[in-house]
Amino acid sequence: MYIEKSRVEWIKNLLPDTFLLRVYSPLIASKIKPGQFCNIKVSESDFPLLRRPFSICEVDGEFLHFMFDVHGEGTKILSNKQKDDVIDILGPLGNGFNYSGDYSTAIIAAGGIGIAPFPYLIQKLADDKKVISFFGGRSKNNVIEYGMKNLLISTDDGSIGFKGNVVQLIESQYSQFRNESVRIFACGPNPMLKALQEFSIKNNIECQISTESAMACGFGICQGCPIDNADGDGYYLICKDGPVFDAKMVRL
């Protein structure tokens, strides 16, 4: 784990409020795995005081890419960074996706900005793995396709693709991969992850979910990001035990 002062190479819009940030961060780039995250200090002042956690979106040599929505003050400041600004990045943090092993098809399930960790995962998946990606958004104006492969889209209003949510879309396509050995990788809002958790357990499909939480430190000392274990008799910490969990391990 490193604390790396990283130079901004560029930042660009994917959507009006969705950004892709490229920073020079060779130490973290050499170690980070898909599904891990970094905790970024967006300003040098006490405002905002805490770092902000972001999934790794892509690694390109010694550069890191982060994808984020402008959501509050921290992400607003980050979105205003310019080339050659320096940001303070702590990482890599947490446990990423387990994508090795014996399965033939990787199902990517992304809800909104939950797409962020998947370009890097898709990059890293072995060539012999078939990839089908599912993205769910509110409408056609919220669709992000960046870094996806074999993409199917759902929108809540049906303005593009399947009308409904992304889990309903996956269920509608289930007959296609019913007989294949499948592993689902999911990231998105909690209700989506919960629906997918039920779907995967019911159909006995391996499913890994990337969770999120407010947190301070990102490495286990503040204890600020608990998530119930499956039995409900204890907590995991999202930062240290996650953010990626087997869907059977946690109670959402």
Catalog residues that contact other proteins under the rule CB under 8 A.
Answer: 1, 3, 41, 46-51, 90, 213-217, 219-227, 233-235, 240
- In the complex, least distance from residue 162 CB atom to other proteins, rounded to whole angstroms: 30
Least distance between other proteins and beta carbon 165 (Å): 23
Q: How many CA atoms lie within 13 A of 137 on its CB side?
A: 19
Pick the closer one to other proteins by CB: 61 or 234.
Answer: 234
Residues 6 or more apart whose CB falls under 8 angstroms from that of 112 comprise 69, 136, 137, 138, 142, 144, 188, 189
Residues counted in the chain: 252
Question: 158 Cβ partners below 8 Å, 6+ apart?
Answer: 164
Closest approach of other proteins to the CB of residue 28, in Å: 13
190: Cβ contacts below 8 Å, ≥ 6 apart: 211, 252
Which C-beta is closer to other proteins: that of 32 or that of 106?
32
C-beta of 108: minimal distance to other proteins in Å?
27
Closest CB to other proteins among residues 183, 240: 240
Residue 128 vs 233, nearer CB to other proteins? 233
Q: Which of 93, 65, 68 is nearest to 79 (CA)?
A: 68
Nearest distance in Å: CB 246, other proteins: 20
Rank residues 71 and 163 by Cβ distance to other proteins and give the closer one.
71
| The two structure tokens encoding residue 237 | 């910490």
